[in-house]
Amino acid sequence: MASALYLHIPFCARKCAYCDFASWATPAEDPLVDAYARALGAQLGEAASLGFLEGCETAYLGGGTPTLLGAQGLGTLLKRVADLAAPSELTCEANPDSLCDEVLLSARDAGATRLSIGVQSLDDAELAELGRLHDAACARERVAAAVASGLDVSVDLMCATPGQTHESWARTLEGAVALGVGHLSVYPLQIEEGTALDRRYADDPCMWNAPEVQAERMTKAQALLESHGYARYEVASYARAGKACRHNKAYWTGRSYLGLGTGASSMLNLEEYLRLSTACPKLPAPPGGAVRVRLTGETGRRELAGDARLCAQSFSLEFLTEPQAVAEDLMLGARLTEGLDPALVSRARVLFGARLDDAVDDLLARGLLAEKGGRLAPTEQGWLLGNELYGALWDLAPGEVASASC
Ligand code: SF4
């Protein structure tokens, strides 16, 4: 069944100034945190009994802040994932301020193989602007402890943030490299509507976040990280040999995944969706021609903690036809350095005919795609103008995506 599993923990010690993810500021000692984690563990058991965890290759416990569960709660949930799904890669997201030694060792001993740590910056003033709870010293110390524990460690870094300079960005990148991590994810800050940052800078042109600043910082990251032996395998992801995140690659290569928890997304093929429907009869019948279903868990965290049965959950759904699924795979594949799978391009040619060739010719002419080693691959310019590249591929999809909620 689904080869990747995602579990969402929707709690954080405090809301960061830029964050619009499904997470709510919640004290670690709030009984809801424990109740939710136990409910998620029970839901995992139901997914296993439906056969969804057979053949699971990777799992990811994200958030939110999974490390807010504490050593015991986190260890229990990770062990349940390891026991029921036995993924060969099991990643846990972490924030430096809640990644004490006890939590770190509990995650490792429960079966985590990888930690993804939200560092964002190694500059105290930048961290304060972002509303992060940790300072640079805490981040350095906790990342070093994670590396020393033997787990594979990734750090998230953010560029084009308030107060960041070319020099401070270079120092953050150098500092992360010096800590010995095997993987880095590097993103430009997105100012999302309704966030504290959006309100704070409502009357400001935010030149520090301008597209050319984002481009300059991403280009700097590529040059610096590649000079240290990291390969860029996706628009925002860099890894040393053998350290690429296999779970994230599932999202970009059309492999199905099951997401559990408030706000979690799943992507299922038709057979998997019909199997889920046996446990959750209120799921609507797929429209004719649908081959792929995207589901987002809409059940609130309190409701889920109170009743974790799959039949009690609410979802929003999108049903994709084969041409829509192929266009989506082309769009997502264009995030990867290796480019588009030739078999996928051949399938797209059968479905879209001359429209595909016209779109590809246009993207090649504009320098957003290039032919590399027999594959169509994104260029640096293509990534910098990602919306144009991805949009042109998605526009091959005919018709509207059918949606529903239940
Ligand atoms: S730690 Fe992550 S999920 Fe939590 S508020 Fe900050 S950015 Fe959002």
Cβ(220)–Cβ(384) below 8 Å: no
Residue (of 212, 182, 264) closest to 7 by Cα position: 264
Task: Give nearest CA residue, ligand 1 atom 6.
Answer: 16
65 lines ligand 1 (CB under 6 A): yes
12 lines ligand 1 (CB under 6 A): yes
Ligand 1 pocket test target in 9, 24, 65 with most atoms within 8 Å of CB: 65
62 lines ligand 1 (CB under 6 A): no
Can you tell me which atom of ligand 1 is nearest the CA of 131? 6
147 lines ligand 1 (CB under 6 A): no
| Rounded distance from Cα 131 to ligand 1 centre (Å) | 9
Against a cut of 0.85, is the pTM above it?
A: yes
Domains of the chain: 4-249 (3.80.30.20), 270-291+323-406 (no CATH)
| Rounded distance from Cα 64 to ligand 1 centre (Å) | 5
Q: What is the DSSP string of 59-108?
A: EEEEES-GGGGHHHHHHHHHHHHHHHH--SEEEEEE-GGG--HHHHHHHH
Residue (of 232, 276, 189) closest to 380 by Cα position: 232
| Rounded distance from Cα 59 to ligand 1 centre (Å) | 20
DSSP H helices in 270-404: 270-279, 301-306, 322-333, 342-352, 354-365, 380-384, 386-394
* pLDDT in 10s for each residue of the chain, 406 residues: 778 999 999 999 999 999 999 999 999 999 999 999 999 999 999 999 999 999 999 999 999 999 999 999 999 999 999 999 999 999 999 999 999 999 999 999 999 999 999 999 999 999 999 999 999 999 999 999 999 999 999 999 999 999 999 999 999 999 999 999 999 999 999 999 999 999 999 999 899 999 999 999 999 999 999 999 999 999 999 999 999 999 999 999 999 999 999 999 999 999 999 999 999 999 999 999 999 999 999 999 999 999 999 999 999 999 999 999 999 999 999 999 999 999 999 999 999 999 999 999 999 999 999 999 889 999 999 999 999 999 999 999 888 999 999 9
Sign for the CA dihedral angle at 217, 329, 249, 339 comes to: negative
Can you tell me which atom of ligand 1 is nearest the CA of 63? 3
Sign for the CA dihedral angle at 124, 129, 130, 131 comes to: positive
Residue (of 118, 92, 141) closest to 187 by Cα position: 118
Helix and strand element counts for the chain (H, E): 16, 17
Position 47 scores a pLDDT of 97
359 lines ligand 1 (CB under 6 A): no
Looking up tokens 């986190």 gives 74
Residue (of 395, 393, 329) closest to 363 by Cα position: 393
In the Cβ-directed half-sphere of 163, how many Cα atoms lie within 13 Å? Answer: 11
Position 2 scores a pLDDT of 78
DSSP code of 336? B
Position 398 scores a pLDDT of 83
120 lines ligand 1 (CB under 6 A): no
